[in-house]
Amino acid sequence: MAAIKTQALTKRYQELVAVDALDLTVETGELFALLGVNGAGKTTTVKMLSCLTRPDSGNAWLDGKSIVTEPAEVKALIGVSPQETAVAPNLSVRENLALMCGVHGLNKELTAQKIAELTKRFALSAILGKKASKLSGGWQRRLSIAMALVSEPKILFLDEPTLGLDVLARSELWDTVRALKGKTTVVLTTHYMEEAEALSDRVGIMKDGRLLFVGTPAEIKEKAGKERFEDAFVAIVKGETK
Amino acid sequence: MKLLTFSGRTAKEILRDPLNLAFGLGFPVILLLLLSAIQANIPVSLFEIANLTPGITVFGLSFMTLFSASLIAKDRESALLQRLYTTPLTALDFILGYILPILPIALAQCVICYLVAIILGLEVTVTIVFAVLFILPVALFYISLGLLCGSVMGVKQVGGICGALLTNLSAWLSGIWFDLELVGGAFQTVANLLPFVHAVELERAVLDGRFSDIGVHLAWVLGYAAVTTAIAVLFFLRQMKRQ
């Protein structure tokens, strides 16, 4: 069964069609990147798939559960790391993780286990007692992703996870995302071409709410007849393909 | 469990902000000390400790509006709420999780004011306990107002509207600092149609043991608390849907 399957998924904001009849399939364990310029519809797609926004028409099934008729079941399957850093600023790193454990209904014992596991996995031990507001942007993003993984989601949405980070912090976060490959289905939205190329199994290119092309980074370059991934992306978005 | 976790987080966010402690707990105490000092030099019946303390406990609650509105507005702007909306927390968990933890903070503020008032000469009677308990519906009104403001305003607007405007309205229209009858006319009429003066008079009546005077003021306060809470819930749900 596909991890995500959308069928004519559509969202309008008054006259603007933000996502236009999106048909997309993401396989289980895949790292799928949604790539596009500003306003392409990437974030709106993620918001609909994570039940934050209801589609105007169409539907999507996550692990077979409908986002329209079974949002509670879908929410139990997913983890979301939003575009902006979404941490509780006056809580420590440990308390932020405990907050997510608590809202997912984990008891004390499981919470302690989960915090220990995520601390090790994300190398958080040195900053566990530090207030989230005192962390650098890179550490806040790392914490944000760790918080999204508390519920052991089958599907993880990362919306622009490295936006505004320096090169080193971005590289470290890439390692973190790579480590999720195969275990969790990851849907990543990004502006950064090199990020999509380096991390993704497949990439979907969006423009004006429509999906222009889906394929592996190599297939995208081949389709556009370009050697560089960025050139291929520009060619596809401009409609200058072979 | 989920509600408890979210409520705990609300309390921690508020109590760990030093500005909140300074304004929420420190400012009402400073006002009590300052006005009692003035009263000692130039006696004014309005500033007698038994008259002043109920007013200060009500005025202090305007900071609860600021706390709750600021927290919700910040959560909305930082996308933390967006993240939490994708968890199994229900709308009721969010609403109660923002309101309930601020009630004990409001009670603590009230208790501290009365303890300081006792040091300043307020006679210790059982009515002080009743006055602390009767602060709860007043606190609910102020906290719900915060939920409402935080649901419709941004962080900067909250600072202006709740931080400046509401605290001033709460002060001028409550009869704490001056007798509303001295102004009279439309000002007094408007003040009597708003909950602030009734909240203060409710607290004064309870502390004074004038139990026959409680009913009418309590009705105004409960009415405003119920209506404000209902509107706040509607606006919170609306912004939740918009997310």
Q: Name the average pLDDT for chain A.
A: 90
Which contiguous run of DSSP H or E holds residue A159? strand A155-159
Position A242 scores a pLDDT of 61
Contact A91 B82 (CB under 8 A): no
CA nearest B78 in A: which residue? A86
Contact A99 B9 (CB under 8 A): yes
What angle do helix axes B185-193 and B195-208 make, rounded to 10 degrees?
Answer: 70
For residues A148-163, give the mean pLDDT.
88
The interface residues of chain A toward chain B in range 139-198, judged by CB-CB distance below 8 A, are 144, 147-148, 151
- Please state whether the predicted TM-score (pTM) of the whole model is above 0.90: no
CB atoms near residue A19 (< 10 Å): 27
Contact A114, A107 (CB under 8 A): no
**Residue B80 near chain A (CB below 8 Å):** yes
Contact A54, A48 (CB under 8 A): yes
Which contiguous run of DSSP H or E holds residue A190? strand A185-190
Q: Write the pLDDT tens digit of every residue in A174-220.
A: 888 888 888 899 999 988 888 899 899 999 999 999 999 999 999 99
Task: Give the pair of three-digit tokens for residue A44.
Answer: 């709106």
Contact A186, A154 (CB under 8 A): no
CB atoms near residue B18 (< 10 Å): 9
Contact A196, A228 (CB under 8 A): no
**Residue B90 near chain A (CB below 8 Å):** no
Distance from CA of A242 to the nearest CA of B (A): 40
DSSP A3-71: SEEEEEEEEEETTEEEEEEEEEEE-TT-EEEEEESTTSSHHHHHHHHTTSS--SEEEEEETTEETTT-H
Low-confidence ranges of chain B (pLDDT < 70): 243
Q: Write the pLDDT tens digit of every residue in A50-61.
A: 998 899 999 999
CB atoms near residue B78 (< 10 Å): 18
Query: Beta partners for A186?
Result: A31, A156
Nearest Cα neighbor of B112 from B128, B101, B126 is B128
